Amino acid sequence: MTVLCELCGKRSAKYVCQECGRRVCQYCFNTYYEVCSNCLKNIGERAELLSIEEGINVDWMLKFVIIGFVIMFLGMVIITLASLMTVSDASGTFFIFIGPIPIIFGYGPHASYLLILSILIFVIFLFLFFYWYKQGSAEKIEA
Ligand SMILES: [Zn+2]
Ligand SMILES: [Zn+2]
């Protein structure tokens, strides 16, 4: 005697759901999670919530730290270039990134130009960063 799938009631049951214990056919069963298609929805929602939480806590902080280092490095490059260009009157800008808040200050007679340049680089990187983040989260949902 064959047991019919408890979800569709058409095909013979071959698997048992690890979540609710329903006996289901191969079409109503997900072999990866070992659950029926009914329970898969709940698992999918839970996994999505988890990935969103992780995305905010880990990914954002990590990316802010990385981008902070990149901007600090660029700031140093600007200072070096400025001192090479003007040996007599050295100018520079400093870029300190505390979380999402950038702190910028400059010195020397060319500080204002360097400051504008730094802000431009910062804005470009901010756009790249958000583009990068958007792509990253899109991939996560697809997977
Ligand atoms: Zn079925
Ligand atoms: Zn189930």
Ligand 1 centroid–CA 26 distance in Å is 7
Determine the pLDDT at residue 95.
60
For the record, the structure tokens of 105 come out as 């200050």
Ligand 2 centroid–CA 38 distance in Å is 6
34-49: burial string, b at 16+ Cβ within 10 Å, e else: ebbbebbeeeeeeeee
Contact between 63 and 95 under an 8 Å Cβ cutoff? The reply is no
Residue 59 DSSP SS3? helix
Rounded CA gap, 71 and 94, in Å? 10
End-to-end CA distance of the chain: 39
Determine the pLDDT at residue 45.
77
**Can you give the pLDDT of all 143 residues of the chain as single tens digits?**
678 999 999 999 999 999 999 999 999 999 988 999 999 888 777 777 666 666 566 677 777 777 777 877 777 777 777 666 665 555 555 666 655 566 666 666 666 666 777 777 777 877 787 777 676 655 555 54
Ligand 2 centroid–CA 139 distance in Å is 27
Residue 26 DSSP SS3? helix
Determine the pLDDT at residue 28.
94
Question: Rounded to two decimals, what is the model's pTM?
Answer: 0.36
Ligand 1 centroid–CA 17 distance in Å is 12
Ligand 2 centroid–CA 16 distance in Å is 8
Ligand 2 centroid–CA 23 distance in Å is 8
Rounded CA gap, 109 and 15, in Å? 76
